[in-house]
Every structure is written in C-alpha cells, then in structure tokens.
C-alpha cells in the first residue's frame, strides 16, 4: 500500500492532535471556531447586506474589530485615513462614515454639503460637544451642574443675559464679546502687542538661547510657542500667573501638544503625560484665582467677568481653574503654530520676505510697530494677506463637528440620530477641483489672482456656521503683527541644509497642525535627534543607569524563575507548559505599553525574566527527544537563528516605526507587534507543539517509531521520561564537568549586556535613530551568516566543539581591543567593532549549550546540568549591566573585563572540559576492550553513584567531546 500523501498525513495528524486534547482544549478550539463564524456573519451583514437594505445612508469604511472600529488607522494617521476613506467609500464627495470606539462619524467633504450643515441649527447642534469637552477636561459633576443647569443670579455677571442662559453658555458669549471688533478687542490686542514688544528683544532672547557673538540660536517651533503663549497669558492674566509659576508656558507646551487626547477620550493609561501636565497647569491656575483680585494686577475684562459669574453659582476654585485652562487652550493652541508656519514658509521663500518688508515698512519705525491697523488692510498689504491665507490653507487640520439630534438629509444622504458629523478642513483645502494640481504646494499667489478664494466653501480654517471661530480677527491681527515685527527686528537664516519641516498630519488636530517629531529646525543652529529606543527613554524618564538596572532585574527574575519553572516542566506536558509560558510572556509585553515611569517598568521586567527563564531548558529537552546527541550539536546554530537573527526583523520593524507619524510612541507599537505575534504563537503551540515524537502530528507512524528508536539507541534513555532520579541529580552535582560548564556560562555572559548597550553606544557615536535601526538589521543578517558557518563547521568537522567555541572568541578579542584603541571619531570602524562581538560570542554560547546537554545521558542529569548552567548564566547577566554604569562613552573597564574574562577565560574553560571528557572516553574505550576480552559486549560506560556513594560502572554509549 502506498504511503499516505502530505495532505492525508496532515489531516491524520490533526485528527490525532484533536483526539489527544483534553476537555478544556476542545472547548477552546470549538469556541474559537464559533467566534470566527459569528464574526464572519457580523462583518458580511454590516458591510455587505445592510448597505443594500439602506442605500440612502452614507457608505461606511469597513473595519475588523467590533466597537473599536477604525480607531487604529485613524489615530495612527488621521489625515491619511480620511483621504483613503474618501477614495474608498466617498469618491463622489458624498458623505461617508467611519466608526471609532462605538461612535459613528459622518464625514462631509463637499463644500456645498458643508454649507448645508452650517445652516442647519434645528436638527444639528454643537452644544453637546462643548459640554462633553468641558466635562472631559476634569470639571466635577457639581461644577457641570452649576455651569449648565443652575440659574444665574440677576446680577451674577457683568454681561447682559436676556435669554437667561446658564453661566457655562454665557461665558462663551462673553468671550465672543471680548474678541469681537470693538473696544474690548482693541484692549486685548494692545496687551498682546505690549507683550510682543517686550519679548521680541535680542537681550530677552539671549538669556534663554545659545549665542555666539551677536548671533542668537533658537528653536523656531518652541520659540514661537513660548513667546506667543506668554503673550496670550499676559493678555488675559497679566504678569501674576507667570509670577506664580514661571514654567507655566513650558508646561502648557507639553499639554497643548497632547490636548487632542481629551477630544478623542484616550484612556488615561495612554495619556499619562498629558494628564500630568494638565494637573500642574490646573494647580497653578487655582493658585491664581485664590489670589485676591486686588493683588493680581491688570487682566482682561473677560477674565474678571467670567470669574465673577462662575463664583455667583458656586463653582469651586478647582473647577474655575479647569474651565479657564480650556479658555487658555483656545487662546494659544493655534496662534503659536500659525506664526511658526508663516515664518517657516517665509524663510524657505526668501523673496517673499523682501516683498513683505517693503510692503509693511510704513507700519514700522526703527523696528517698532506704530500702526497695527495698517497690516490688516488687504489693499495696502496684499502680499502679507495672501501669505496669511495660504498658510492657513496649507496647515489647517482641524474640523467642524456637529451632533445629529434627529434624522437629517445632507447631500442626499440620510444621517441617523445620535451620530456625529465631521467636516475636516484639510480634505477641502487639498481638493484638486478647488485648488488645482498644486493643492499641496505653498503658493500664496493663488490668493492674489483669486481675491474671493478665502471666502469660498473650500477654505474654512476657522470652521463655519455657529462654530465659526470667535477669535479669528484677533488671531489674524496678532499673527501678522508678530511675524512682521520679527522680520523688521531680526535677520533670520536657516543653518545648514535643513529641509522644510514635515507637518504632523497624523495627530488628530484641533486646528493648525504641529510638526512631526524631530522636524523642528533652528535658525543659526542644526539639531540632533534625541529619541532613544523608539522613545522609551523620553516617555518613561529613564536614564542609562536605570536602563541597565532594568536589565539586571530581568535576570533577577530569570534566576528566581528557574526552580518553579523546572518543577512545572516536570509536572506538565511540554505543549501545555510552553504555550502557557508564551501566553504569559505576551501579556507582560502588552502591559509594557501602560508603563510611564521607571518604577512601573521594574515589576514588568522582573516578571518577564521570571516567566521566560525555563524556556531554553524546555526547548533543549524537546530537541533531545527528536535528535541524537551528534545531531543536536549540528542543528543548535540553526535553531538559534530564530533568536540571534531576530534583529533583522525587529530592526526593520523599528525602522518603519521611526517613520510612524502616530501620536502613540513607536516603542509602544513595537511592544504591541511583539506581544501580538507572541499571542498568536501561544495559540499555535497549544494546538500543534508535540509533547514528544509519539504525539508529533507532522510525523507518520513509521517516522515516529524510527525517531524514538534512533534517540533511544544513541542515548539509552526513554522519550519524555520525567521521573526524577535522585542518583542522577547527585551525579550531576558531583561531576566537575557540570561546574565547569556553569562557570563557562558565567564568564561568557559578563559580555551579554553588550547587545542591549549597543543602542546607546550607537547614539553616543552620533548615529541617527534611523541609522541605528539599519545597523541592527545588518547585525541580524551577520548573525544568521555566523550561525550557518558554525553549523557547517560542526557538521563537516565533528568532535571539536571546544575548539570551535574558542575560535568564535578570537574576533571578539580583536574587535574589543579595537574599541578601546581606535579613535572615537572613526565611526565606521567603531560600528564594525561593535557589530562583531555579540554575534560571534553568541556562537560560543550556542555550542556550549548544545554540548552541555549532549555530553550526558539521563533526563534528570541533563535537567540538573541545564539548571546549574542557567543559574550561573543569570547571575552573570545580573552583574553584566552594572559594568556599564560609568566610564562612558568608551567604557574601558567594561571592555577590558570582557576581553579577559568573557573572551579569553571562557575558551580556556571549554578546552579544559574537552580534556576531561577526552580522558574519560579514552578510559571507557580501554574498559570496553577489557570487557570484550571477557566476553561482555557493550558500547561504553558512565560513572554513576550508588545509594552508598560508591562509584559503579554501567554499560552505555560513549559521550561526545
């Protein structure tokens, strides 16, 4: 009868696996099948069947995970997602839909439809968003009730209230009054201009920047943010707030960059930095409002009147502070960015600077602005006006929003009650039909030739309808004044060949977009990247010492996990143990994403090591069930390609993540990717991992029998024999070879922190983040080559394990000497010297581990020897990171320790092991000859301790050397 085909064998193997499952495993398998079927039915119904049944409703962008919806691609790159969605389900500019965490948004991308939304004040409203946003900022329930549901006393506020609106609504009307053209607007503009005049002085700038003679070097993005924020602060609160907290504007910069997390209700565990800045700002504002008004100095009319109204209905100091922070946000969030972009476009188009200076010179006298109204005259300053309008068009990423209170027809589509409407300005501003093929280019002349373009429906950076920005007049006047004051007072130039900064189109915007990470530039100075380890250092506040401590903690958990891990290996089937361990590992990796400090990372790294520790012994045991000792030697390097070759994959992932424009830090995405793959692997091992050759679904019955007999004949031991034999345990402890292997593991692993230290050393050498990830990819490729070479050497020239292990140490010695002798400025040679040692001494370790297991027979002895090796391995790894605590960037002490102990002493220990084993084999061969002469035929012997402690001899195979 012909042997079964591959498909038939696979089916039979799967049937055997299914039959070998226990009740819980069957439950999990069947439950998974049911869930997948239910998910497929849900997806087909929602995205295929329902659109046919309800053709009038907007097409919806499909997604895979219920409730979560399109949240992942939206928060990864909101503008790219909206553009793709428009091309996919909204190609005719009709309204389309997407879902985020259970909320459906209708997107309006046609100017005509946007006007329909603006005019509809009956079934569409904005009040819910204001209420929801204010509550999300942290105002208490009592404060919300007082602001929106409590009647305002007759003289509770210094502002007319004929409609008897609650103070929460009236405050918005008061702010509109403050910023609307008139005396109040002129007053607040006057205060802005005073602050500009005071802060835009060379001596003032010199105090906080790097200088060289008469040259002042500034980070343009942060500088614009700093002086504009301080100006808004002075205009509304005077100098008192800065006196209470001189870092208020710096903290606001952090909060403002992350404030979108409030709008989209990002869970607190992912918004810790924003919440910390928010708490600091609210505390400072609380102290401000607790200061008697007589001691605060001059402040805006609105500030006094709004505070009076809020106090009249019993709003607490804490809630007043929180409410005013939202106002502070609306004042400063977009003006600072707009000023930055306007200056940036001018600097990259120098001919426009000359035109603006010539056009506005009548408004200035020796650098002092004497006629602010001149700048707002579109006839007198057409170039300035066109640059202003084009800047807003090119950089606005905000959106108008509405809540659908009743089923409404917009653009011929039925929008259902309870959902939201989104009108993204960027979809309109980049519309090729409205702006032509040059929509993505900065071309202010388009507003010179088309005077009414700014009034058309395709230009709406300030929103529209009832949500038209109340501060648009002040914003225009002050940004034009600020930019022209800078141009008339200073000569700006960009240092080096810095490219035009990339706008942050990824972060869901509240108005004008910011810039992507590390895209800022300095005038008269270049910048260096500060990201390390994909942003882990920045997000958690780690320093190099703490990073090394975490590596030590990992191995502390590793050593403590050995005993319970080895116990579980004895008690559980390998499939259960390995799949469960991988699952626990994946969960801990996922939990890294919520860590926001060094303290939070401590337990995670400890338990990661605790869970991972017995995995190598478990995998080695599995290999020894399927391969003879000689074969284990040969395949060990190939097996470990999956480990030391992984930087080739992780490097490419890291490289891609460094290009990510998402608001979430790249290192968190890296953890999610790694954890997700591990979670998938745990499921696969639960179903498919063999406990022993007898349960290997990928082997036929004949192959199973052949595999078992081959291993038994070569080792004289049974497969998966888990009986703990005390005599083998004592034998392993009394064998000096066991201690020598453990010592080799200790000495070699003193160098094992080098792979973790490489990321920091790369940056110390001046290698960029992207460059270092590419070096990691090269390192992974080199590691794979080393493993293949090691495999070929062992296979072609067997029996020389100690010599091959010593051979791989020689490049490590040579390159380590190079590290401490080559000039630090020689980047390429230094990188080569850093790249070689980890991948070469890894082969020494791989050969040692394989040799360790194959040089003894008996499950318990092998397990004991592995445990001894791993304990010494872990102790060394705890010590290793501490070698790098001081002496940077050259770290001579660490490198000398590695040269002497790791790369010289380790090979000597392994050669000593070879000498001992060779001597034993020689004695065994002599003993075999003696036994043969006496008629006792066998293959060899091992020394074994009897219960009385005597050494006896037992026939077995010769051990390998």
| Nearest alpha carbon to residue 760 among 598, 599, 543 | 543
- Which residue pairs from 832-835 have beta carbons closer than 8 angstroms and sit at least 24 positions apart in sequence? 834/754, 834/758, 834/761, 834/762, 835/775, 835/778, 835/779, 835/782
- Counting other chains too, the contacts that 822-829 makes at CB distance below 8 Å and 24 or more residues apart are 824/765, 824/889, 824/890, 827/765, 827/766, 827/767
Rounded distance between C-alpha atoms, residue 585 and residue 618, angstroms: 15
Q: Does the annotation flag 469 for ligand binding?
A: yes
**426 in Cβ contact with 369 (< 8 Å):** no
Secondary structure percentages of the chain, helix, strand, coil, to 5: 65, 5, 30
In Å, what is the CA distance from 901 to each residue of 319, 430, 746, 904, 914? 63, 63, 9, 6, 19
Query: Cα-flanking dihedrals φ and ψ of residue 390, to 5°?
Result: -70, -35
Q: At what angle do helices 167-179 and 301-312 cross, to 10 degrees?
A: 170
Structure tokens, 793: 């050497």
Task: Give the closest residue to 866 by CA, choosing from 848, 852, 877.
Answer: 852
Distances (CA, A) of 488 to 375, 492, 957: 13, 10, 92
Sign of CA dihedral 893, 899, 901, 902: positive
Within a 10 A sphere around the Cβ of 87, how many other Cβ atoms? 9
Task: Name the residue among 873, 825, 816 with its Cα closest to residue 849.
Answer: 873
Residue environment code for 811-829, b if the CB has 16+ CB neighbours within 10 A, otherwise e: bbbebbebbeeeeeeeeee
CB 94 within 8 A of CB 55: no
Sole residue written with tokens 């919300």: 144
Please give the annotated binding residues for heme, written as ranges: 469
């Amino acid at each position: 009868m012909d042997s079964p085909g591959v498909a038939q064998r696979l089916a039979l193997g799967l049937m055997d696996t299914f039959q070998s499952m226990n009740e819980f495993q069957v439950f999990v398998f069947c439950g998974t099948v049911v869930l997948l079927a239910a998910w497929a039915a849900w997806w087909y119904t929602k995205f295929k069947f329902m659109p046919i049944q309800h053709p009038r409703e907007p097409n919806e962008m499909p997604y895979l995970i219920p409730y979560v919806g399109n949240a992942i691609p939206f928060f990864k790159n909101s503008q790219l997602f909206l553009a793709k969605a428009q091309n996919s389900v909204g190609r005719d500019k009709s309204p389309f839909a997407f879902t985020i965490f259970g909320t459906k948004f209708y997107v309006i991308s046609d100017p005509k439809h946007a006007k329909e939304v603006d005019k509809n004040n009956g079934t569409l409203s904005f009040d819910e968003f204001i209420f929801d946003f204010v509550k999300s900022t942290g105002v208490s329930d009592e404060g919300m009730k007082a602001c929106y549901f409590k009647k305002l006393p007759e003289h509770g506020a210094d502002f007319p209230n004929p409609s008897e609106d609650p103070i929460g609504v009236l405050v918005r009307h008061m702010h509109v009054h403050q910023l609307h053209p008139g005396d109040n607007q002129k007053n607040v503009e006057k205060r802005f201009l005073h602050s500009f005049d005071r802060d835009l002085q060379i001596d003032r700038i010199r105090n906080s920047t790097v200088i060289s003679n008469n040259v002042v070097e500034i980070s343009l993005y942060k500088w614009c943010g700093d002086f504009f924020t301080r100006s808004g602060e002075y205009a509304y609160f005077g100098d008192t707030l800065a006196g209470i907290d001189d870092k208020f504007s710096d903290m606001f910069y952090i909060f403002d960059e992350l404030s979108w997390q409030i709008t989209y209700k990002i869970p607190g565990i992912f918004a810790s930095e924003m919440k910390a800045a928010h708490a600091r700002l609210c505390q400072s504002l609380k102290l401000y409002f607790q200061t008697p008004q007589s001691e605060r100095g001059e402040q805006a009319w609105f500030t006094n009147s709004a505070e009076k109204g809020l106090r009249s209905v019993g709003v607490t100091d804490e809630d007043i502070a929180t409410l005013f922070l939202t106002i502070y946000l609306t004042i400063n969030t977009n003006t600072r960015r707009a000023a930055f972009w306007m200056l940036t476009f001018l600097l990259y188009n120098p001919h426009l600077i000359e035109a603006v200076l010539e056009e506005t010179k009548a408004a200035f006298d020796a650098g002092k602005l004497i006629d602010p109204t001149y700048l707002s005259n579109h006839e007198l300053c057409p170039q300035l006006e066109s640059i202003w309008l084009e800047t807003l068009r090119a950089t606005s990423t905000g959106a108008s929003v509405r809540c659908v209170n009743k089923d409404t027809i917009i653009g011929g589509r039925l929008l259902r009650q309870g959902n939201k409407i989104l009108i993204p300005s960027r979809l309109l501003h980049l519309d090729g039909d409205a702006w032509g093929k040059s929509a993505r280019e900065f071309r202010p002349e388009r507003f010179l030739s088309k005077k009414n373009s700014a009034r058309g429906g395709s230009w709406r950076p300030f929103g529209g309808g009832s949500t038209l920005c109340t501060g648009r007049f002040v914003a225009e006047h002050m940004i034009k004044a600020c930019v022209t004051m800078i141009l008339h007072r200073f000569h700006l130039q960009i240092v080096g060949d810095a490219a035009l900064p990339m706008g942050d189109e990824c972060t869901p915007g509240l108005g004008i977009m910011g810039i992507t990470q590390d895209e800022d530039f300095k005038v008269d100075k270049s910048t260096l990247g500060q990201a390390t380890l994909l942003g882990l250092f920045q997000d958690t506040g780690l320093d190099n010492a703490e990073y090394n401590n975490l590596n030590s903690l990992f191995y502390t958990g590793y050593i403590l996990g050995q005993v319970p891990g080895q116990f579980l290996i004895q008690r559980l089937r390998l499939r259960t143990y390995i799949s469960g361990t991988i699952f626990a590992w994946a969960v801990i990796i996922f939990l890294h994403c919520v860590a926001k400090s060094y303290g939070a990372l401590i337990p995670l790294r400890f338990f990661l090591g605790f869970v991972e520790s017995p995995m190598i012994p478990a995998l080695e045991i599995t290999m020894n069930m399927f391969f003879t000792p000689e074969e284990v030697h040969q395949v060990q390097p190939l097996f470990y390609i999956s480990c030391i070759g992984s930087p080739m994959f992780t490097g490419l992932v890291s490289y891609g993540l460094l290009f990510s424009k998402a608001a979430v830090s790249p290192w968190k995405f890296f953890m999610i990717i790694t954890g997700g793959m591990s979670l998938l692997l745990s499921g696969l091992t639960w179903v498919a991992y063999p406990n022993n050759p007898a349960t290997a679904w990928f082997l036929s019955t004949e192959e199973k029998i052949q595999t078992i007999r081959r291993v038994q004949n070569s080792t004289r031991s049974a497969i998966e024999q888990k009986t703990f034999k005390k005599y083998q345990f004592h034998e392993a402890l009394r064998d000096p070879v066991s201690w020598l292997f453990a010592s080799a593991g200790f000495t070699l692993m003193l160098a094992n922190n080098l792979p973790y230290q490489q990321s920091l050393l790369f940056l110390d050498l001046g290698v960029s983040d992207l460059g270092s990830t590419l070096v990691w990819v090269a390192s992974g490729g080199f590691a794979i080559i080393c493993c293949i070479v090691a495999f070929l050497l062992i296979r072609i020239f067997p029996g020389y394990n100690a010599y091959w292990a010593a051979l791989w140490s020689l490049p490590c010695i040579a390159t380590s000497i190079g590290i401490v002798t080559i000039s630090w400025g020689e980047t390429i040679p230094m990188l080569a010297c850093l790249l070689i040692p980890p991948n070469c001494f890894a082969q020494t370790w791989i050969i040692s581990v394989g040799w360790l297991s194959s040089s003894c027979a008996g499950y318990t002895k092998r397990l004991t020897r592995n445990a001894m090796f791993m304990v010494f391995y872990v102790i060394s790894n705890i010590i290793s990171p501490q070698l790098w605590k001081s002496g940077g960037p050259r770290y001579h002490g660490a490198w000398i320790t590695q040269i002497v102990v790791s790369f010289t002493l380790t090979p000597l220990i392994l050669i000593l092991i070879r000498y001992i084993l060779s001597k034993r084999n020689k004695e065994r061969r002599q003993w075999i000859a003696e036994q043969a002469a006496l008629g006792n035929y066998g293959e060899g012997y091992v020394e074994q301790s009897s219960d009385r402690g005597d050494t006896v001899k037992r026939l077995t195979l010769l051990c390998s050397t």
